[in-house]
């Protein structure tokens, strides 16, 4: 595994729509492993392909207290259900030290493939729902700033 460079706001790749993953091979597994390690080291709860310079529909998330215990990998994710709403502060590893209040659904269900190509569904609430929305936005070239209602001090 290796730490990859996190692309920052201003980098064009962050504004582009990502491509579907079609090959579930060793290269994908290395990418996911590297993304998880990079996210953990940076202290984030989510990271996507374009943030490490790869224009692919891949996401890693971990909203747990202990790194590694709640690892989620989403390949080609699509939000298929959402309900309710929540307002809370949000940040992004590609936009260091900037936090803002963003409204997101309270609960979402996502359909995605795992690293081997197998489809599954995952339902998340609260912070996990927020992370799923934030990260799937990245795959469309959308940064959370577009949703900020009001900037705030920190997370
Ligand atoms: Co982000």
What one-character DSSP code corresponds to residue 70? T
CA 124 to ligand 1 center in whole angstroms: 17
CB atoms closer than 10 angstroms to residue 153 = 6
Q: What is the rounded distance in angstroms from the CA atom of residue 105 to the CA atom of residue 50?
A: 24
Q: What is the rounded distance in angstroms from the CA atom of residue 106 to the CA atom of residue 87?
A: 9
Annotated catalytic residue 26: no
For residue 137, what pLDDT is reported?
98
Secondary structure percentages of the chain, helix, strand, coil, to 5: 30, 35, 35
Task: Mark the residues whose beta carbon lies below 5 A from ion ligand 1.
Answer: 92
Q: How many helices (H) and strands (E) does the chain have?
A: 2, 8
CA 86 to ligand 1 center in whole angstroms: 18
Nearest to 12 by CA among 85, 89, 84, 94: 94
CA 140 to ligand 1 center in whole angstroms: 12
The catalytically annotated residue of 81, 83, 135, 140 is 135
b/e sequence 71-95, b meaning 16+ C-beta within 10 Å: ebbbbbbebeebeeeeeebbbbbbb
CA 45 to ligand 1 center in whole angstroms: 9
**Which pair of tokens denotes residue 144?**
């959370």
- CA distances (Å), origin 2, targets 47, 61, 134, 143: 15, 17, 24, 25
CA 8 to ligand 1 center in whole angstroms: 10
CA 117 to ligand 1 center in whole angstroms: 24
* Residue pLDDT tens, the chain, 155 long: 899 999 999 999 999 999 999 999 999 999 999 999 999 999 999 999 999 999 999 999 999 988 778 999 999 999 999 999 999 999 999 999 999 999 999 999 999 999 999 999 999 999 999 999 999 999 999 999 999 999 998 75
């Amino acid at each position: 595994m290796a730490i990859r460079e996190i692309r920052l706001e201003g980098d064009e790749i962050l504004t582009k729509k990502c491509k579907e993953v079609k090959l579930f091979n060793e290269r994908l597994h290395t990418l996911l492993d590297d993304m998880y390690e990079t996210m953990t080291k940076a202290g984030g709860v989510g990271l996507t392909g374009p943030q490490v310079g790869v224009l692919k529909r891949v996401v890693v998330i971990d909203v747990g207290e202990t790194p590694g215990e709640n690892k989620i990998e989403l390949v080609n994710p699509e939000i298929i259900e959402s309900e309710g709403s929540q307002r809370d502060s949000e940040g992004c590893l590609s936009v260091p030290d900037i936090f803002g209040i963003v409204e997101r659904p309270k609960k979402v269900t996502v359909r995605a493939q795992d690293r081997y190509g197998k489809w599954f569904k995952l339902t998340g609430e609260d912070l996990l729902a927020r992370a799923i929305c934030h990260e799937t936005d990245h795959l469309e070239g959308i940064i959370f700033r577009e949703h900020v209602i009001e900037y705030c001090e920190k997370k």
